[in-house]
Amino acid sequence: MAASSCDRGDTRKKLQITVVFLVRTLLLACIIARGVLALIRVAFRVAVVAPARSLVAVAGAAFSAVNARCAWCLEQAALGRSCTGTVLGDAVVGAMASSWRLLLQGITSLVFLCARGADEYVRPPPSPLVLTAHGKPASHPQQVHISTVGEKNMRISWVTDDLNAPSVVEYGTSPGKYTASATGDHTTYRYFLYKSGAIHHATIGPLEASTTYHYRCGKAGDEFTLRTPPARLPVEFVVVGDLGQTKWTASTLSHIGGGGGDYDVLLLPGDLSYADTQQPLWDTFGRLVQPLASARPWMVTEGNHEIEALPVVGIAPFAAYNARWRMPREESGSPSNLYYSFDAAGGAAHVVMLGSYAEFEEGSPQRAWLERDLAGVDRRRTPWLLALVHAPWYNTNEAHQGEGERMRRAMESLLYEARVDVVFAGHVHAYERFTRIYDNEADSRGPMYITIGDGGNREGLALKFIKGHKSAHLSEFREASFGHGRLRILNETSAVWTWHRNDDQFATVRDEVWLHSLAAGEPAATVASAAGGGGGHPADEL
């Protein structure tokens, strides 16, 4: 019996030793397998990923260098300067630079087309770009534009090639006599080998309403003049979308400024420069719009052409847009430069600038901000409430069908409950005005929806409207022509909207409608007219 007990003890001990051995062997095998996998990953990165990234980086650097050189050659030609010192050399280099620019435009359009799907609306050929050169010293300001900051302040933004130029604005009410000054800050950004100049921002004020101020940026260069918006109604907004920098753009800008600048604030619902990764085009755009943007506040929101994200090389979205076009997000409690709000006419009008390309679903920061912002609007003090977004929520054009639908479903109820009067959009390169709508039905308590993405972009017009579209009965007027719009708010109850077509030699009022503020109770029937357009009926035959 004693021998049997010893045998069982030995067997149990051997079994335990065997189990421990197997477990240790398994653990060792796992460790070896993990080591092998780690070596494989390292080898893969060394043999494949690193060379691929290096190749992409080299290609990006080469691309940027060639692109920057071609842009410089085109700028020198615009200034009437020689690139090579000989007429023949300049002709050859100019032809090569122009061919390169056209090639890039074609590649960019092809990439966008492939990314958006084969059923994307095919646009007409692009218009030639208008490249505005800068031939002044490096310390002189360029690309000057202004925006409202709070009730009595203005932000002045400009660029200098001199990175050490001071971020100072001197200003006063008499030419050349500056009684005040403000110091701001500056930033730069990189995009491949492109490095921006110093982008300055300085806030001046407090300023008197409806007053002309003369100012100088960085203690150098030209003097500029601005007029502050009024402290009470009436107030006039110019609205223009998808601007770009083409001959069509130049026509639009000339018509906007042709009346001596008789407006107070310009609203732009996205797609500014159409740089599309070609960063020097941000500079030429800033110089093109400077005569208008330095004289009246330009309040903008982003479009799809501002994204410019390149994850492969680590370029974040909206890098150029956020650096160059700083809007009053802090003052409106917004966590992002992509959406914000501001007051006009002493708070008689509240303008909400929404971001089509920032998160907007339930629980998103933008939606939470919008709920807070609208909840803070007292319609007894603020009879007019406007909203801007890039991708339209209602659209009967073949171009960009349904691209704003997700945002509409997420946010339309908020605007409806707040009794927003008008919603402006861009993106579709045509003009279209809808009746007051809520949830795809006519509703006298809903906003009027207006698409005005016809500022002058390089892609051409969206010429085809869908006659049998489900929203066609809600569309009051539509036409594919370049132009701009004006909303003149006359008093607490009445405003007039006009759309000015500018593919004629002179801007022509093509559409006009009177609006009644939703804060004033149930609106009367809108009265619309269309010059030559059949009393506001849809213009399908173009």
Q: Give the C-alpha separation, 82 to 67, whole Å.
A: 18
Q: Reduce the DSSP state of residue 499 to 3 states and report it.
A: strand
- Burial grade of 356 (CB within 10 A; 0-12, 13-18, 19 or more): buried
Q: Which of 347, 430, 341, 437 has the alpha carbon at shortest distance from 389?
A: 341
Q: How many CA atoms lie within 13 A of 512 on its CB side?
A: 9
- Specify whether the backbone of 174 is left (phi greater than 0), alpha (psi in -120 to 50) or beta: beta
Q: Which of 476, 456, 489 has the alpha carbon at shortest distance from 349?
A: 489
Q: Give the C-alpha separation, 469 to 463, whole Å.
A: 15
H or E element that contains 341: strand 340-344
Catalytic residue among 400, 427, 500, 516: 400
Q: Give the C-alpha separation, 287 to 159, whole Å.
A: 10
Q: Which of 450, 447, 448, 449 has the alpha carbon at shortest distance from 430?
A: 450
Instruction: Considering only CA atoms, give the Rg of the chain.
Output: 29
Q: Give the C-alpha separation, 99 to 108, whole Å.
A: 14
Q: Give the C-alpha separation, 152 to 182, whole Å.
A: 14
Whether residue 400 lies in the annotated active site: yes
DSSP per-residue string spanning 377-433: --TTT--EEEEEESS-SS--BSTTTTTTHHHHHHHHHHHHHTT--EEEE-SSSSEEE
Long-range contacts of 523-529 (CB under 8 A, 24+ apart): 523/436, 523/444, 526/435, 526/436, 526/448, 528/476, 528/477
Q: Give the C-alpha separation, 464 to 470, whole Å.
A: 15
Q: At what angle do helices 280-293 and 50-78 cross, to 10 degrees?
A: 40
**What is the set of active-site residues?**
400
